Chain A
Amino acid sequence: GIQVEQSPPDLILQEGANSTLRCNFSDSVNNLQWFHQNPWGQLINLFYIPSGTKQNGRLSATTVATERYSLLYISSSQTTDSGVYFCAGPPNAGNNRKLIWGLGTSLAVNP
């Protein structure tokens, strides 16, 4: 099956720093999504981004579907950005349309 690799697995930032998180798929996926899980477990959908670039405040995401990867940019990080970031997407082909999830990038932003 399709494999999803997220990098880096762990990241520690000082408040105000910028960072880039990466999501690589072993095969093409549709409708890639990025999520943030806060320390209390709540998962928030950050981006629904099949291709191209989207921006939402200090966050932006770029998906290059033909090269099977997506990037999540966090600028001017804040302590509230801490948590785990997941990417997920359903396979582009075949009958199995269930979302394939990465293991996440754990981010800690220190004040």
Chain B
Amino acid sequence: DGGITQSPKYLFRKEGQNVTLSCEQNLNHDAMYWYRQDPGQGLRLIYYSQIVNDFQKGDIAEGYSVSREKKESFPLTVTSAQKNPTAFYLCASSIGRDEKLFFGSGTQLSVL
């Protein structure tokens, strides 16, 4: 079945540690996105990529980094510079910009 796979489902970060969230899609979509969701809030864009080897900052990119070495994969690293990382992280993809958006099941990141 085609879809977007995020892993792990739950992740815990220690102080000063970098952690990486995985996002893989087999929909052959060009565009991929990372969103952050805080309790009771809407979605805020962290980074997005329209094509392999290219990505753009979203509204809250500070403390995060991404790579897009393969069309299928768009991992997100939460660095130690992100002082308030506890949130629900959602990966999404679309055929192209402004097209219908599909989401993975999310990763809940918490700080130990």
Using Cβ atoms and an 8 Å threshold, which residues of chain B touch A41?
Answer: 88, 90, 105-106, 108
Report how many residues on chain B are interfacial, defined by Cβ distance under 8 Å.
Answer: 21
Alpha-carbon gap, A69 to B98, bound state (A) = 18
Q: Judging by beta carbons under 8 Å apart, are B98 and A103 in contact? A: no
Q: Which of under 10, 10 to 19, 20 to 34, or 35 or more describes the interface residues of A?
A: 20 to 34
Alpha-carbon gap, A109 to B84, bound state (A) = 33
Instruction: Tell whether A33 is near chain B: CB-to-CB under 8 Å.
Output: yes
Instruction: Tell whether B81 is near chain A: CB-to-CB under 8 Å.
Output: no
Given contacts A86-B43, A99-B45, A103-B41, contact A42 B97 (CB under 8 A): no
Q: Judging by beta carbons under 8 Å apart, are A98 and B45 in contact? A: yes
Using Cβ atoms and an 8 Å threshold, which residues of chain B touch A31?
Answer: 98-99
Which residue of B42, B45, B102 contacts A104 across the interface (Cβ within 8 Å)?
Answer: B42
Within the complex, what minimum Cβ distance (angstroms) separates B35 from chain A? 9
Q: Judging by beta carbons under 8 Å apart, are A45 and B102 in contact? A: yes
Q: Judging by beta carbons under 8 Å apart, are B41 and A98 in contact? A: no
Q: How many A-B residue pairs have CB under 8 A?
A: 48
Question: Contact mask A80-111 → B, CB, 8 Å, 1/0?
Answer: 00000010101000000111011110000000
Q: Judging by beta carbons under 8 Å apart, are A102 and B42 in contact? A: yes
Alpha-carbon gap, A44 to B97, bound state (A) = 18
Which residue of A48, A97, A101 contacts B97 across the interface (Cβ within 8 Å)?
Answer: A97
Alpha-carbon gap, A99 to B101, bound state (A) = 10
Instruction: Tell whether B74 is near chain A: CB-to-CB under 8 Å.
Output: no
Q: CB-nearest residue of chain B relative to A9?
A: B40
Some 18 contacts from A to B, beta carbons below 8 A apart, are A33-B100, A35-B101, A35-B103, A40-B105, A41-B90, A41-B105, A42-B106, A43-B106, A48-B100, A86-B43, A90-B97, A97-B97, A97-B98, A98-B58, A98-B59, A99-B101, A102-B42, A104-B42
